[in-house]
């Protein structure tokens, strides 16, 4: 990503030439998951054949955000038109993704390593803009969190034990709406 780090926790995106760059800045938590989802859905609607998620400025991730990434990975696994890659993944972010098994379904590239044939991303980096997602309703946020954690249990069945209480709580929360 650009040399200057964006201020605060945010999702930035730019699309050009059938490629969308989504940059994750700061702490990637459930609060950023709706903007991430919005950016990646917009990329699909724009017909991007490649979605590159740049994790260079990502400081940490929570399970909801990792579940949102995994959900996107699952949805694109069988796509013949769109690929997804994560680049500039730091060692702590890689350990988090590996710890939940997300690296099993996504191609993850550490800093300084890019996919074979990856073009120049500098035009996209220059055009990054913040993704402004509307604040989700309590129901929509609970549904997003439930989906994220349920997806993590599909990625790695051993995550079911880890997230069974979270899933139970969110399931009950969704019944209240």
Q: What is the mean pLDDT of the chain?
A: 91
- pLDDT tens figures, 35-71: 999 999 999 989 999 999 999 999 999 999 999 999 9
CB atoms within 10 A of CB 175: 8
- pLDDT tens figures, 90-129: 999 999 999 999 999 998 999 888 787 777 788 899 999 9
Fold of 10-133: Transcription Regulator spoIIAA (3.30.750)
The length of the chain, given as a count of residues: 177
- pLDDT tens figures, 64-79: 999 999 999 999 988 8
Burial class (CB in 10 A: 0-12, 13-18, 19+), 35: buried
Per cent of the chain over pLDDT 70 is 96
CA distance 22 to 57: 11
Structure tokens that stand for 121 in this block = 């991303």
From the list 8, 32, 13, the residue with the least C-alpha distance to 131 is: 13
From the list 13, 70, 86, the residue with the least C-alpha distance to 44 is: 13
């Amino acid at each position: 990503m650009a040399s200057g780090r964006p201020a605060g926790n945010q999702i930035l995106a730019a699309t050009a030439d059938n490629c969308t760059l989504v940059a994750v800045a700061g702490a990637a938590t459930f609060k950023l998951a709706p903007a991430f989802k919005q950016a990646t859905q917009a990329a699909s609607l724009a017909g991007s054949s490649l979605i590159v998620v740049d994790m260079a400025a990502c400081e940490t991730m929570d399970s909801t955000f990792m579940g949102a990434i995994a959900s996107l990975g699952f949805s694109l696994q069988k796509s013949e038109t769109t690929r997804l890659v994560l680049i500039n993944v730091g060692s702590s972010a890689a350990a988090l993704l590996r710890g939940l098994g997300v690296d099993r379904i996504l191609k993850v590239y550490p800093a300084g390593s890019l996919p074979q044939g990856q073009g120049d991303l500098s035009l996209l980096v220059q055009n990054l803009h913040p993704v402004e997602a509307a604040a989700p309703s309590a129901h929509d946020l609970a549904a997003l969190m439930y989906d994220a954690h349920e997806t993590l249990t599909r990625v790695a069945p051993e995550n079911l034990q880890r997230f069974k209480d979270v899933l139970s709580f969110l399931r009950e929360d969704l019944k209240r709406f």
